[in-house]
Chain A
Amino acid sequence: MKFDTPAGQNPIDRLKVVGQPTDRIDGKYKTTGTAPYAYERHDVTPSQAYGYVLGAGIAKGGIRGMDTSIARTAPGVLAIVTTLETPRMERGTMNTAYLFGGDQVQHYHQAIAVVVAETFEQARAASFLITVDYTPETGKFDLAAEAKSAKPVKGDSGEGSGGNGEERVGDFEGAFAKAQVTFDEIYATADESHAMMEPHATVAAWEGDKVTLWTSNQMITWAHESMAKILGIPKANVRIDSPYVGGGFGGKLFVRADAVLAALGAKAAGRPVKVALTRPLIANNTTHRPATIQRVRIGATKDGTITAIAHESTSGNLPDGDPETAVSQTKLLYAGANRLTAMKLALLDLPEGNAMRAPGEAPGLMVLEVAMDEMAEKLGIDPVEFRVRNDTQVDPHAPDRRFSHRDLVGCLKLGADRFGWAKRNAKPGSLRDGQWLVGVGVASAFRNNMVMKSGARVRLDEQGTVTVETDMTDIGTGTYTIIAQTAAEMMGVPLDKVVVRLGDSDFPASAGSGGQWGANSSTSGVYAACVKLREAVAQRLGINSADAVFEDGQVRSGNRGVPLGEAAQGGLTVEDTIEFGELSKTYQQSTFGAHFVEVGVDVHTAEIRVRRMLAVCAAGRILNPKSARSQVIGGMTMGVGAALMEELAVDTKRGFFANHDLAGYEVPVHADIPHQDVIFLDEVDPISSPMKAKGVGELGICGVSAAVANAVYNATGIRVREYPLTLDKFLDRMPDAA
């Protein structure tokens, strides 16, 4: 199905199932520990051996030799595959660093061997018996130092944000020089780790020249292509299966060393092999969200109309790597006749920077939305009002291009009302509650809405059960449930008459889970397949499909009603793919929100604790308010982490992230997060898809960190322009507490 004109009335609009806050259909498996994750697939293939991955102990350089002779004789060892005996392997889709092979180390903990043994304990022990002779080279590890030599570069996060090295509208410099009020500051954001709870893991089994990988991956289509390319075998000889994914956040968009080394280990051992990356390996072996240094300049009239806005960002990456596209949202979020956005990239020999939840917008808004707060204060205008005053309904870079639907102002106003913004004390540092200095902050949320081609197969059986198969993944997003809701709505059956099967490359290729495009795109693919199934059913029953009403497990036309299963004599299976036309170019499609946060800052120690959080979101039709709300609060939680504690600590001498485990890399725990409120504006966006939905999975993290930082300022009167806002950065500026 081609989607190239705005959606009209369709069966989804009935909203009998879609749009309801349905409990997740996979909930009873997840809560009982019976949902199978990759490393647990004891059932799929017998006599699985254990692979243990060894990472490089240097950040950059060569490997002169590896002595595996002792390790090979260790008890239980079945095979050892080293990088030296493996020619450098091709990279998969979107990989920057090589996953395995060759004698060069590009980054710390890059995989250099896999030890396969009968047991996990044996493989682990034997890995310590390998000796490696390195020829270390000096590398570049310090973004601040390398930023000076960074070059302008275009970049694309692959997730809906990107741009050229420099983009301009009007004359920024001239307008900024003439502006009545100007603002110019530099900020920094930190390297962050996805830190999903399930480590990257794969079981690999060869049958002749065909391999099956039971893995944990967000994008089955990419993984399928990538593994064929990396292993140098036809795609038809590779099968990927990933029905449950224990979190990804972008860290499992691309195949990683676990999949490659499970496949190589299994080949070498002549047995199925399973590999999980150990936790201490993950931060440096896999990808991370790169740190940035960002400068924002804003010029405005005294009444708060932005006349000039510039946002520049510098980040670092390995050769062939992309920049963090942190300026992307600034092209679209606020009005202003004169504009500049620019990105620079410094070459660094740290591990690979790549997509993490809302790449671009998340770190970009961490800065832009603090700058907006600072400018509002400079202008003496309420920060909510300042944002409202500079709203735009068109793409400022192409004023003929309207937003498909944009209600940022509605989010800000409703949020301000519900949060009690009017009671805010505009004078910073003036509200005290016991040991706490209390403040509130606001920030806009913005994330582009991407739509991606997505396919599905639907099968109707004689019992009237509808089975949906697609290689779409559920990474905690609620995909199983919203796909079931979509099929149930389309076919007029209750939810328990729908079976959803995901994550298998034998199923039709889907949009996959990334860039918050998954829910809208994959359900649209299911919609398309269901439209085809409805036509096939109608045809079989001799009904004009336009007259057919699918409801209550029946197909009705006029006075005639037939149980749906009757149309399925001998089985009825159809497949279709939604493909999106020009609407995403004709219109700017984005999602919007407003975050409101209250924090307390300890008067003595400057510890920051979040007390209240509210997000208001405008993101098209919400397919399932319960699971969508969870996506938003999850983003808010990760944003609190980015604001207050998350930082991969770079050893700029040795070139690695030193705090490479979950004790060293702190993410929020229960005690950090208060009750969170989320309000979805009641809206539909027919330009986006037949579901009239948009993405919401990443909107929650966008802007929330800035709202925290702005609240800290309101509480203390101290601006901290370097994330995370740990107390060491401003304790010396805290007022006397005695």
Chain B
Amino acid sequence: MVGASATAALAAVPSAAGAAPVSIDKPVLTKVSLTVNGQRRDLELDTRTSLLDAAREHLHLTGSKKGCDHGQCGACTMIVEGRRINSCLTLAVMHQGAEITTIEGIGQPENLHPMQAAFIKHDGYQCGYCTPGQICSGVAVLAEIKAGIPSHVTADLNATLQVTEAEIRERMSGNICRCGAYSNIVEAMTEVAGRPV
């Protein structure tokens, strides 16, 4: 079974849903305007372009990282319309007119956001590849707690939320750091949240 079916499967056989024969599709180009880090950017993109690749490959905003391209690591986290999302799992064309903040819009080397400065102070990174995603998430997580959005570890769904280490750990769990800087990241975020570290 394996050999024969593997051959067939690699041959881009139509999936269960569709019955179209093998076809060589032309890219479909679409115009899209995004407001990225406060700047309007007009692009003409293949509809298949993810928001992540629009930023990295078309706008050369490479701060957002591609760790898995499947929503499994969080390295691509951006803040879109005020909310953090995995930019690898959304199409750029779905964000016509949207306000997008990438790590480049959070702060710059000579003008660091307090979260970036706290990551440096607490060594909340090692190789640096997950770091922009961690920081975008970190900024958004503190806002989510402030906005009263509960989490898996919130003991009482109807009580006022606190910034606790457990809340930070749970909410940051969509951002994988294989270097294992978690303990330091929590300290950086705790400091930014204004609680004693």
A and B touch in the complex (CB under 8 A): yes
At the interface, yes or no: A37 with Cβ under 8 Å from chain B?
A: yes
**B15: min CB distance to chain A, Å:** 11
A135 to B6, CA, bound (A): 11
Given contacts A28-B112, A58-B2, A279-B70, contact A130 B173 (CB under 8 A): no
Which residues of chain A in 63-94 are interfacial with respect to chain B, using CB atoms and an 8 Å cutoff?
70, 73-76
Name the B residues within 8 Å of A136 (CB-CB). Answer: 2-3, 6
Given contacts A33-B104, A70-B22, A247-B178, contact A674 B183 (CB under 8 A): yes
At the interface, yes or no: A237 with Cβ under 8 Å from chain B?
A: no
Q: Are A197 and B125 in contact (CB under 8 A)?
A: no
Pairs A–B under 8 Å by Cβ, sample size 19: A28-B109, A31-B135, A33-B64, A33-B132, A40-B56, A42-B62, A61-B3, A121-B48, A129-B11, A136-B3, A197-B130, A244-B127, A247-B129, A631-B126, A633-B183, A637-B183, A654-B2, A671-B170, A673-B183
Chain B interface residue count: which class? 35 or more
Residues 12-51 of A, flagged 1 when their CB comes within 8 A of B and 0 if not, give 0000000000011011111111111101101000000000
Which residues of chain B in 34-81 are interfacial with respect to chain A, using CB atoms and an 8 Å cutoff?
46, 48-49, 53, 56-57, 60-70, 72-73, 75
Give me the 6 closest cross-chain CB pairs, A-B, nearest first: A33-B63, A637-B180, A246-B129, A476-B127, A476-B126, A30-B128
Q: Are A58 and B6 in contact (CB under 8 A)?
A: yes
B123: contacting residue among A58, A627, A636, A671, CB under 8 A: A627
At the interface, yes or no: A545 with Cβ under 8 Å from chain B?
A: no
Q: Are A662 and B186 in contact (CB under 8 A)?
A: no
At the interface, yes or no: A726 with Cβ under 8 Å from chain B?
A: no
At the interface, yes or no: B175 with Cβ under 8 Å from chain A?
A: yes
At the interface, yes or no: B146 with Cβ under 8 Å from chain A?
A: no
Task: From A27, A135, A279, name the one whose CB has the most chain B CB atoms within 10 angstroms.
Answer: A27
Name the A residues within 8 Å of B64 (CB-CB). Answer: 33
Name the B residues within 8 Å of A196 (CB-CB). Answer: 127, 129, 178
Name A121's closest neighbour in chain B (CB-CB): B48
Q: Are B24 and A246 in contact (CB under 8 A)?
A: no
Q: Are A662 and B46 in contact (CB under 8 A)?
A: no
**A279: min CB distance to chain B, Å:** 4
Q: Are A249 and B60 in contact (CB under 8 A)?
A: no
Which residues of chain A in 126-162 are interfacial with respect to chain B, using CB atoms and an 8 Å cutoff?
128-136
B interface list, Cβ under 8 A from A: 2-3, 6-7, 9-12, 22, 24-27, 46, 48-49, 53, 56-57, 60-70, 72-73, 75, 102-104, 106-110, 112, 116-117, 119-121, 123, 125-132, 135, 153, 165, 168-170, 172-187
Chain A interface residue count: which class? 35 or more
Q: Are B3 and A671 in contact (CB under 8 A)?
A: no
Given contacts A32-B108, A32-B116, A122-B27, contact A198 B183 (CB under 8 A): no
Name A673's closest neighbour in chain B (CB-CB): B182
Name A63's closest neighbour in chain B (CB-CB): B7
Name the A residues within 8 Å of B176 (CB-CB). Answer: 197, 662, 667, 669
Name the A residues within 8 Å of B57 (CB-CB). Answer: 119-120
Residues 667-689 of A, flagged 1 when their CB comes within 8 A of B and 0 if not, give 11111011110000000000000
At the interface, yes or no: A325 with Cβ under 8 Å from chain B?
A: no
Q: Are B65 and A197 in contact (CB under 8 A)?
A: yes
At the interface, yes or no: A195 with Cβ under 8 Å from chain B?
A: yes
At the interface, yes or no: A638 with Cβ under 8 Å from chain B?
A: yes
**B174: min CB distance to chain A, Å:** 8
**B18: min CB distance to chain A, Å:** 13
A630 to B180, CA, bound (A): 8
Q: Are A634 and B180 in contact (CB under 8 A)?
A: yes
A670 to B181, CA, bound (A): 9
Name B111's closest neighbour in chain A (CB-CB): A32
Name the A residues within 8 Å of B60 (CB-CB). Answer: 42
